[in-house]
Structure 1
Amino acid sequence: MKKNTGILLIGVIGLAILIWLGSTFYYAYKPKPQILQGQIGAREYSVSSKLAGRIDEVFVKKGDKVKKGELIYTIKSPEIEAKLAQAQAGYEAAKAISDETHKGAREETIISARDLYRSAKAMADLAEKTYQRIQELYDGGVASLQKRDEAFAAYKSAKYNENTAYQQYKIAMDGARAETKKALTEKQKAAAGQVSEVKAYAQDIQAYSPIDGEVSNVLLYKGELSPSGFPVVLVIDMKEAYLKLSIPESYLEDFEEGKIFQAYIPALKKDIDFKVNYVSVMGDFATWKATSSTKGYDMRSFEIEAKPVQEIKGLRVGMSVLVRLH
């Protein structure tokens, strides 16, 4: 009886050893799932200005939550103020000339031109009558030919003076030509356009947030010189967060555009569903190779972007994301 019990015990121990060895070899040589690591990113917006100048004040700092349309920073630019004053002065000058041209000559100018014309006309009438009398005397043999020619020349000169005075009087009455008025009107419009352009630039001394988001970086501070279009402040939109991940081409069919997969975020200690919204057109050579040289070959990896299916509380840019490939 004791002998049978000993044999049974040895058999049980042997079986346990065999099971242990089998399980050890099984787990040792069992293909392990590959785990890929990605990173959370988000759409980033630059807050900048078309206007170059020194930063006057920055109203935000890293980590601040901002609303769309909130004032982020201001620029001090004496140059734009001088240009605005210059443009406004140019507009006022053009407007004054245009108004004067459209109104016509002053009343005093018109009266003066009228009097000059009347005077010239009276002289022309007198010269004409004088010429007619000299002509009659010449015809009667009393006056010489020289006298008649002198009277005729004085008459013609007086008529020319009368015509010139009349034209000056007519110009004073009619004002500038239509072409001149139109040209001055267009100059006034051009000057007004310059004022509007400078004012548009002047409005850019204040820079506002384009979105509801969070300040991720402040690149320039008060007193520093900001070039035109330089991103002084960066704002990220966590509502546009996404996962960026490199996928071996052998698994690419599991991450086609529109597919949903699960990934683990260690910082949040939870599994999250992501939906693929972009797959890169061209892949890059991967840095790894298959372990079996007889079956392996260099693999390409493709970058994908995937957005969380639902909004994730506490998600931050830069968080690691683990994806298990089966």
Structure 2
Amino acid sequence: MRTNRILAIVALVVLVAILAYGLILAYTPVPERLQGQIEAREYNISSKVPGRVSQVLVRRGDKVASGDLLFAIDSPELNAKLMQAQGGRDAAKAKQQEADNGARKQQITAAKEQWLKAKAAATLAQTTYQRVEALFVEGVLARQKRDEAFTQWQAAKYTEQAAYAMYQMTDEGAREEIKAAAEGNARMAQGAVNEVSAILADSQMRSPKTGEVSEVLLHSGELAPSGFPVVSIIDMQDVWAIFQVREDQLKDYKVGQQLEVQIPALGASYPFTVDHISVLGHFATWRSTESGHDFDMRTFEMELRPTEPIADLRVGMTTLLAR
């Protein structure tokens, strides 16, 4: 009997202790925690050139460095336009060289010979006129013959002057205005080649950042519209944690504040710094019936960045922040 009484007392004490512990737990406030997730900078790599994907050199999960070739697009239409632009450039450069070089040596020589020929004819016409003038003074020839000789001399002299002007123009080459126009046309044609070449270079897409391939949306043989992303890259050097904070909780967080963020997937907590706080849209408003307050409250998005790199961190990992 005594043993049974002792056991009953012990059981009662244990029961009372359990009830007391339960009451303590029931009335002890549970620490509130905010749940968020890890985000990272993502780049969607697309081409301005529409065409067929000729090759994709990466797969999901591949590590790429800045400048690595990701994919290439084949565009026969652009290749044809490049040939046209190059042909126009070559023709414009030839015209510019022609304007800069002036007339050929043979043309200059021919113009000079025409001038010398006209000069000889003018000299002969002058000598003939002088002889006719002497005969006219002596009364041997009529005035009509003298006037005809004078007219032929003047015509030969003007012909010589015109031939000399043509020789000078041929020897000097093209005018400065013509040279400037030819140079402008050559630059314009070179600009057309550069434009098409730049577009073609954009068909060989290289990674703008060092990161990890997260998605490959198109594969070899598929058509790629202009601006449609073919490969997506995540830069794990540019990561942050996202939390949604109710308006009445903002007083506990300030930009630049350092906080300990728990990452269950890694089994540890890491120091993060509050980098940015911005309000979300009206769709995230807490109504008074939901928040327990007598007024509506907005939700704010808070970005925290790790103070130092975290090994094995992945996008989408859950993050916990104790309040």
Both structures adopt the same fold (TM-score exceeding 0.5): yes
Q: Secondary structure at the match of 1:38?
A: strand
**Superposition deviation, residue 24 in structure 1:** 4.2
Q: Is the 8 A contact 2:42 2:232 kept in 1?
A: yes
Q: Is the 8 A contact 2:279 2:299 kept in 1?
A: no
Q: Secondary structure at the match of 2:88?
A: helix
Q: Residue 104 and residue 268 in structure 1: after superposition, are their counterparts in 2 closer, same or farther (change >3 A)? A: same
**Superposition deviation, residue 40 in structure 1:** 1.1
1:88 aligns with 2:86: yes
Find 2:74's aligned residue among 73, 76, 92: 76
**Superposition deviation, residue 133 in structure 1:** 3.3
Q: Is the 8 A contact 1:283 1:303 kept in 2?
A: no
CA distance in 2, matches of 1:115, 1:291: 106
Q: Secondary structure at the match of 2:229?
A: coil
Letter in 2 for 1:274: F
**Superposition deviation, residue 114 in structure 1:** 1.8
CA distance in 2, matches of 1:281, 1:139: 116
Q: Residue 16 and residue 168 in structure 1: after superposition, are their counterparts in 2 closer, same or farther (change >3 A)? A: same
Q: Residue 292 and residue 24 in structure 1: after superposition, are their counterparts in 2 closer, same or farther (change >3 A)? A: farther
CA distance in 2, matches of 1:227, 1:139: 96
The number of residues matched between the two structures is 321
Query: What residue is the counterpart of 1:55 in the other structure?
Result: 53
Normalised by the length of structure 2, the TM-score is 0.84
1:226 aligns with 2:217: no
CA distance in 1, matches of 2:10, 2:70: 80
**Superposition deviation, residue 296 in structure 1:** 4.0
CA distance in 2, matches of 1:192, 1:77: 21
Deviations 1:248-305 (A, max 9, x none): 1222132211112223333333333322111115775534647785x54322221011
Within 5 Å, which residues of 2 pair with 1:191-202? 191-202=189-200
**Superposition deviation, residue 222 in structure 1:** 1.6
Query: What residue is the counterpart of 1:248 in the other structure?
Result: 246
Letter in 2 for 1:286: T
CA distance in 2, matches of 1:100, 1:291: 84
Query: What residue is the counterpart of 2:271 in the other structure?
Result: 273
Deviations 1:132-189 (A, max 9, x none): 3333444444444433333332222212211111111222222223333343334334
Deviations 1:22-81 (A, max 9, x none): 554554454443332212110112223343322110011222222222111011122232
Q: Secondary structure at the match of 2:47?
A: coil
Structure 2 portions without partners, runs of 5+: none
Q: Is the 8 A contact 2:271 2:306 kept in 1?
A: yes
Q: Residue 207 and residue 53 in structure 1: after superposition, are their counterparts in 2 closer, same or farther (change >3 A)? A: same
CA distance in 1, matches of 2:267, 2:179: 78
Within 5 Å, which residues of 2 pair with 1:178-217? 178-217=176-215
1:149 aligns with 2:140: no
Query: What residue is the counterpart of 2:39 in the other structure?
Result: 41
CA distance in 2, matches of 1:10, 1:191: 105
Letter in 2 for 1:202: L
CA distance in 1, matches of 2:66, 2:295: 51
CA distance in 2, matches of 1:291, 1:222: 52
For the aligned residues, what is the CA RMSD?
A: 3.2
**Superposition deviation, residue 237 in structure 1:** 1.1
CA distance in 1, matches of 2:253, 2:159: 98
**Superposition deviation, residue 212 in structure 1:** 1.9
Structure 1 portions without partners, runs of 5+: none
Q: Secondary structure at the match of 1:280?
A: strand
Percent identity over paired residues: 44
